[in-house]
Amino acid sequence: MPYPYPVERMEYNKVVGKTRVENIANILEHLGFAVIIKEPENHDIDVWAYRDDSLILVIEVLNWRKRDYLDFTRTMAIIKNLTNSKYDNSRKLLVFSFLQNIRNRLSFFNGLNIDFLELGFQTQPYYTHYVNSPLASGMKPNNLTTRILVRRKLLSYLVGTDLL
């Protein structure tokens, strides 16, 4: 079996995480939002979305494989970010690949007024490295077709919450 990472693991994690963040930011920009994103691992919200100079949506983004699970430390970091009083007047959204990524920590989010959006796949910028491997299960390449899927799910969320 080939080495599971096509590049050094820390670089891999940054690129994979940043891929979905940038895709979501681009979708929001095309929908007319002003958007700010942060670099991966900055210990803050991943995406801020503004309309008419008002912050209306903050998003934490997970771009994980099926077998990855939210640990206690990451759960607390996400909760800290999304419950920051600076965002009291904004919608808060946690975007993730699979429900099983967060299922073990769902109870921690009860009563926190955080929305959830399951995409159902990992957006994988290194898809060609995995395409013939069992690890490819649940992955989709970072291409136009995948970005259209993300757009549809995000658009459905935005319409359902009257943010669009």
Amino acid of residue 13: N
Number of domains observed in the structure of the chain: 1
Is position 1 within any domain?
A: no
Domain that holds residue 65: 9-157
Residue 134 domain-assigned (yes or no): yes
Cα 62 to Cα 143: distance, rounded to the nearest angstrom: 18
At 4-51, the pLDDT tens digits run 889 999 999 999 999 999 999 999 999 999 999 987 666 789 999 999
> If DSSP states are collapsed to H, E and C, what string results for 1-20?
CCCCCCCCHHHHHHHHHHHH
Q: Is residue 28 part of a domain?
A: yes
Model confidence, pTM: 0.95
CATH number of the CATH domain containing 62: 3.40.1350
